[in-house]
Structure 1
Amino acid sequence: MRRLTLCAFISLFVLIDAARAQDTLRFSGFDAPNLTPKAERILSRAYEELGIRIETVISSPRRALLDSAAGKTDGELVRVKIAGSAHESLIRVDVPIIEARTFAYANKPELHGKSFGELKHLRIGHVSGARFAAELAKGFSEVWTAETPEQLFEMLLRDRLDLVIVGEGTGRRIVRERELKDVFPLTPSLRTVSFYHYLHEKHAALVPRIEAVLRRQLEEAREARPDDDVPGEAVPEENVLHRIGMT
């Protein structure tokens, strides 16, 4: 009898412990200072409404995706839209939570209204190692690189560059901090990438619940949006919870 009682107690303890474990979800992520912390804040707030805590397991981008697809974690914190196409075990939560845009910045008034493609005769700069920016800069008369975006904007002010390729968030921050009233981005953006949250298929039932929370938060963010954007601040757009810039 004592043995049966002990077994029943142990079984009850295991069940309670398992239930508690389900209150925390562990998502794969990778080191991206402009992306991961913002995604964690957005998703932590959303999952909190469902009574769920989240944790991020940081590894390399490749390892993070393999672990989430294999079910070693509960999903992906954020990935681009095509990430799930190669992994059927990952279900995309169909609300873009972060959007990253890249712009070319200039300070010459005559460049207002010009398209990027018609400016190949100018001098352009980008952060060293930014592969996408390097591709965009191909064909320009002069291409310069620098270690930091701040150095690029200094070159722009000293008339050593005509255009600087940086992410929107970075560009806005530098323009605001240095009060560069004559510096402006050429429109439209050079690249726009949306990031989504993914859950492993073992949590398929949770997908519509978290999607509903995110959609409601998006709607609330739209309604609370100020009439005029404050330079340097990320504000919710029509279909995204947060906007950042990535070089």
Structure 2
Amino acid sequence: MSMRIKTWLLASLLSILSSLPSFLLLPFLTGSAQAQTSIVLNTPFFAPITSPGRDGVLDLFYAELFKRVGLKVDIQPMSAERSLLNVNNGIDDGDVSRVLGIDQAYPNLVRVPEPVMFYQMVVFTRKPSFVVKGAASLEAFDVGILTGWKILERNIVNTRSLLKLETGAQLFSMLDKGRIDIAVIEKLEGLHFIQSLGLKNIRIMEPAFVEGDWFLYLHKKHEALVPRLTEEIRKMKQDGTHKRIFDTVLKRYQPVAGA
């Protein structure tokens, strides 16, 4: 075969491949180039959601999920705001979990449409019991939240004061010392901090201040992975893997939850 014909055939093949939708190329990518790569996900969360020991619910869940699509995953801690900025700018590959619609503010993010977990942002306090019913029920209090948690920044308004802190340990230290009346944080993380810091007489107010689904978000350069990841998340729910991972990790916190 002449060099001219070989060149023509190669050009034709490249032209055909470039015209295909990205999801059709995914099997070729996951079987070769991507098989040797790791996806780097940022996490603003603490145990039991993610932890330095890589034994949080999402640490274990994502290790299994990405293994199923032929990839390794590295989950690195980062502040909530910095995490979104880094992923939006393509510095890192994704964020472990965010609320629906966060991609409207960070347009380079793509959402994997199957939820990875259900969250509850709840009120922790030493104050007498009261019914949590929207932002108005918090107006008389000094409130603390974590910096960069957009859903709380949007929904907590007109409080006596609003203090934004970098870590959950700082948040619960302020609550324990009476510097704030209320800490609003994801329920599982709050239970972890009560347990790990040995705090007493802190109660959870009902119902949750806000609750809903969390989703995996990736930088748009990984959009081709979305269909496979969506399919595998659904399979992990159907075959019981998702529930088994969550139950195994969360049972460590049941004594606190029932206290």
Bin of the TM-score, shorter chain as denominator length: 0.5 to 0.7
User: What TM-score, normalized by structure 2, do the two folds share?
Assistant: 0.55
Indicate the larger mover: 208-217 or 178-187.
Answer: 178-187
Letter in 1 for 2:208: P
Q: TM-score, normalised to structure 1's length?
A: 0.57
Deviation sequence 1:176-229 (CA, Å, 0-9, x none): 34363551233122365623243756763x543332221121231566476xx7
Please give the alpha-carbon distance, in whole angstroms, between the structure 1 residues aligned to 2:112 and 2:89. Answer: 18
CA RMSD after TM alignment: 4.4
The structure 2 residue matched to 1:103, chosen from 122, 132, 148, is: 122
Q: Which of residues 177, 181, 186 is equivalent to 2:206?
A: 186
SS in 2 for 1:67: coil
- Of all paired residues, the percent bearing the same amino acid is 12
Confirm whether residue 154 of structure 1 aligns to residue 176 of structure 2: yes
Cα 1:166–1:42 shift into 2, 3 Å: same
Q: Which residue matches 1:196?
A: 216
Mapped contact 2:87–2:218 kept (Cα < 8 A): no
Shift of 1:23: 0.7
Residue 173 of structure 2 aligns to a residue whose secondary structure is helix
- Alignment pair present for 1:175 and 2:194: yes
In structure 2, C-alpha distance between the alignment counterparts of 1:152 and 1:180, rounded to whole Å: 14
Report 1:56-75 matches (<5 A). Answer: 61-67=84-90
Structure with the larger helix share: 2
Tell me, yes or no, if the aligned pair for 1:106 and 1:185 is still in contact at 8 Å: yes
Q: 5+ unaligned residues in a row in structure 1: which ranges?
A: 1-17, 234-247
Q: After TM superposition, give the deviation of residue 96 of structure 1 in Å.
A: 1.7
The residue type paired with residue 209 of structure 1 is R
Q: Deviations over 1:117-151 (max 9, x none)?
A: 45356332315756755665543345567771232
Per-residue deviation, 1:45: 1.0
Question: CA separation in 2, counterparts of 1:48 and 1:109?
Answer: 47
Counterparts of 1:2-151 in structure 2 under 5 Å? 20-27=32-39, 29-30=41-42, 32-34=44-46, 39=58, 41-55=60-74, 61-67=84-90, 76-78=94-96, 80=98, 81-82=100-101, 84=103, 92-111=111-130, 113-120=131-138, 122-127=140-145, 129=147, 138-141=157-160, 148-151=170-173
Paired amino acid for 2:142: I
- Classify 1:182/1:231 alpha carbon distance in 2 versus 1 (closer, same or farther; 3 Å): farther
CA contact (8 A) 2:123 2:183 kept: yes
Report what 1:9 is aligned to: none
